[in-house]
Structure 1
Amino acid sequence: MNWFPTYNFILASKSPRRQQLLQALGIEFTVQTKEVEEVWPAGLAIEEVPVYLAELKADAFNAELGENDVVITADTVVCLGPEVLGKPESFDEACAMLHRLSGREHQVITGVCLTSSKKRKSFYSVTNVEFKTLTAAEIEYYVTHFKPYDKAGAYGIQEWIGSIGIKHIEGSFYNVMGLPIQKLYEYIQSF
């Protein structure tokens, strides 16, 4: 039984985690990426930021989508209160982000956009994540060994830090990995 419409799905993401999660849904897809400057206008509500960025990534494909193509774009942000934490650019910045998240709850918000030549559907998913109080040694071990420079908020929940540091999550685990696949499944079914 084929669960999905017979589209030519394109995942616009270099993330091996997103590719793995989309494969887990049983969708056949190709990977194509385009460089897009990930900036957003001031004044957006935090849940609008990843949707705006996902739509910005989708816009880069508008001129070349065939009639049967559907491009899937996504962006994940980590929010501590009203502040969006990006990807760390150095060891020190990664450690500083994890020290800020330590012992606190934060939100992980992923925006997803499905775009064809005829229509577009966008949505977001929010997961609340609570870290235990992390020691400086735990943070430094993680950053040294896992180099989370490609991850918003400087961590991957599926890695060592998630195993030893996450006390509680409310919402989709896969959303924290970068793609809320259950919700994506529903949106693809209705696309």
Structure 2
Amino acid sequence: MRLILASSSPRRADLLQQIGLRFTVRAANIDESVLPGEAPNAYVARMAIAKGREVSRLCAADDCVLAADTAVIVDGRILGKPSSRGDAAMMLRRLSGRSHEVMTAVSVHYGEALRVAISKTEVFFASLSDAEINNYLNTGEADDKAGGYGIQGHAACFVQRIHGSYSGVVGLPLYETVDLLKQVGFSR
């Protein structure tokens, strides 16, 4: 059985390598638009399943496909990846001095089996000055990350505390991932 990571995220690949899993990367190319009125948990689950299905169609029948999707939620609204530097600055201002939720769904497709889990983590940000936001944006880290920040980089300085899964905030909750792999019979 071969493990396929349906993601081009270097952070997800790093997390899988951290726990000693060998895998092949094959990214999915899907529309990641939020549907009108879609709840955040439904959105991340739908994205993780869609990514996994897309890649599964291109793989051998005995391949195990792992996919994930992460969203940052504040005031019930999903903050996706910023479309511009201004969009990233707006997101960071919304997160400043308060808590938000990071939700990551993981799906595992193996043969006819499909398993899904969702990790929810509350993240508490310090109050950010305009200078701190601009300095962070100058690092380029905000460009491809949900909510406009990466907890594993310079934005770690903004995080006062978290309640939940650190790896889930990075983009792949490892406990849930390993549990789903066990459920479908994947051995490390």
SS of corresponding position for 1:153:
helix
Return the offset for 1:21. Answer: 0.2
**What is the TM-score with the length of structure 2 in the denominator?**
0.93
Determine if the alignment matches structure 1 residue 61 to structure 2 residue 55. Answer: yes
Deviations 1:117-153 (A, max 9, x none): 2211011100000101011111100011234110000
Q: Aligned partners of 2:66 and 2:25: how far apart in 1?
A: 10
Which aligned pairs between 1:70-85 and structure 2 lie closer than 5 A? 70-85=64-79
Q: Aligned partners of 2:121 and 2:152: how far apart in 1?
A: 14
Name the aligned partner's letter for residue 26 of structure 1: G
Q: Aligned partners of 2:108 and 2:77: how far apart in 1?
A: 27
Q: Aligned partners of 1:63 and 1:88: how far apart in 2?
A: 30
Determine if the alignment matches structure 1 residue 116 to structure 2 residue 110. Answer: yes
2:36 to 42, 48, 57: 42
Moved more, 63-72 or 148-157: 63-72
SS of corresponding position for 2:133:
helix
SS of corresponding position for 1:43:
coil
Name the aligned partner's letter for residue 177 of structure 1: V
Name the aligned partner's letter for residue 153 of structure 2: E
Instruction: Report if aligned partners of 1:66, 1:117 keep a CA contact under 8 Å in 2.
Output: no
Instruction: Report if aligned partners of 2:28, 2:51 keep a CA contact under 8 Å in 1.
Output: yes
**What is the TM-score with the length of structure 1 in the denominator?**
0.92
Q: Aligned partners of 1:67 and 1:32: how far apart in 2?
A: 15
**Aligned equivalent of 2:14:** 20
Determine if the alignment matches structure 1 residue 103 to structure 2 residue 103. Answer: no
Name the aligned partner's letter for residue 167 of structure 1: Q
2:161 to 153, 168, 171: 168
| Identity value in percent | 36
SS of corresponding position for 2:30:
coil
Determine if the alignment matches structure 1 residue 150 to structure 2 residue 179. Answer: no
- Gap regions ≥5 residues in structure 1: 1-6
Deviations 1:89-123 (A, max 9, x none): 21111111101100010000001110022211011
Return the offset for 1:43. Answer: 3.0
Name the aligned partner's letter for residue 174 of structure 1: S
**Aligned equivalent of 1:181:** 174
Instruction: Report if aligned partners of 2:28, 2:52 keep a CA contact under 8 Å in 1.
Output: no
Q: Aligned partners of 2:56 and 2:182: how far apart in 1?
A: 22
Determine if the alignment matches structure 1 residue 32 to structure 2 residue 26. Answer: yes
Instruction: Report if aligned partners of 2:69, 2:106 keep a CA contact under 8 Å in 1.
Output: yes
Return the offset for 1:8. Answer: 0.6
Q: CA RMSD in A?
A: 1.2
- Gap regions ≥5 residues in structure 2: none
Instruction: Report if aligned partners of 1:78, 1:84 keep a CA contact under 8 Å in 2.
Output: yes
**Cα 1:86–1:182 shift into 2, 3 Å:** same
